[in-house]
């Protein structure tokens, strides 16, 4: 059950108990049922705090990658760690539509940075490999846009694919 819905039900049951709309035993039973035995909602980490941490993580990634002299392996490891953190938040917030946008956008950005860096490292000077990499990222964005019904991912995939097609055609 959605956390927000559960909290609303718990508040209603507590109101019924205070107002004596139901017998106290019934309200206690319902509260135990909806709070999983605690008598109060389970405390969870605040999602806003995690979203704020994620917003700080992305600029830290850019600073670590572009403004330090880390080796390629260490950069890739750092990016992979941050990407894993974003994907973990995507999995955890899959029910929370408002919060899901932060880790999805962060994951897409980190995946793009990581794959472009890997393509440039392993295929230096080869624009074909970079083009395929960007088009593969656009395909992932298209799939995310269709899966989660997010128009901005779908639009980013279409615009990115069109821009890459224009760059290839222009050459």
* For the chain, domain boundaries: 3-34, 46-122, 123-171
**pLDDT score at 8:** 86
- What is the overall mean pLDDT for the chain? 85
pLDDT tops 70 at residue 34:
yes
pLDDT in tens, 156-169: 999 999 999 999 88
- Considering Cα of 57, then 61, then 62, then 63, what sign does the dihedral take? positive
Task: Band the pLDDT of 153: cuts 50, 70, 90.
Answer: very high
User: Is a pLDDT exceeding 60 seen at residue 3?
Assistant: yes
Do the beta carbons of residue 106 and residue 84 sit within 8 Å? no
Q: Cα separations (Å) of 124 from 14, 58, 116, 129, 171?
A: 65, 26, 11, 9, 18
Model confidence, pTM: 0.68
Residues 6+ apart with CB under 8 A from 148: 100, 104
Give the highest mean pLDDT range of 37-41, 75-79, 83-87, 137-141. 137-141
pLDDT tens column, 96-108: 777 788 888 989 9
How far apart CA 83 and CA 115 sit, in angstroms, is 12
Q: How high is the pLDDT of residue 119?
A: 94
Query: Which long-range contacts (C-beta less than 8 Å, at least 24 apart) are formed by 10-16?
Result: 10/34, 10/35, 10/40, 10/41
């Amino acid at each position: 059950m959605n956390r927000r819905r559960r909290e609303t039900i718990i508040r209603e049951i507590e109101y019924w108990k205070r107002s004596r709309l139901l017998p106290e035993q019934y309200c206690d039973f319902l509260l135990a049922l909806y709070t999983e035995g605690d008598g109060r909602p389970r405390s969870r980490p605040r999602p806003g705090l995690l979203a704020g941490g994620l917003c700080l993580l992305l600029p830290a990634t850019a600073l670590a990658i572009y403004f330090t002299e880390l080796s390629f392996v260490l950069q890739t490891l750092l990016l992979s760690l941050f990407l894993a953190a974003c994907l973990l938040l995507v999995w955890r917030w899959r029910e929370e539509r408002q919060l899901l946008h932060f880790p999805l956008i962060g994951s897409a950005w980190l995946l793009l940075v990581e794959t472009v860096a890997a393509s440039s490292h392993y295929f230096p000077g080869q624009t074909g490999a970079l083009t395929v990499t960007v088009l593969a990222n656009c395909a992932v964005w298209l799939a995310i846009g269709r899966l989660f019904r997010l128009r901005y991912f779908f639009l980013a995939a279409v615009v990115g694919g069109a821009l890459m097609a224009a760059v290839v055609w222009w050459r």
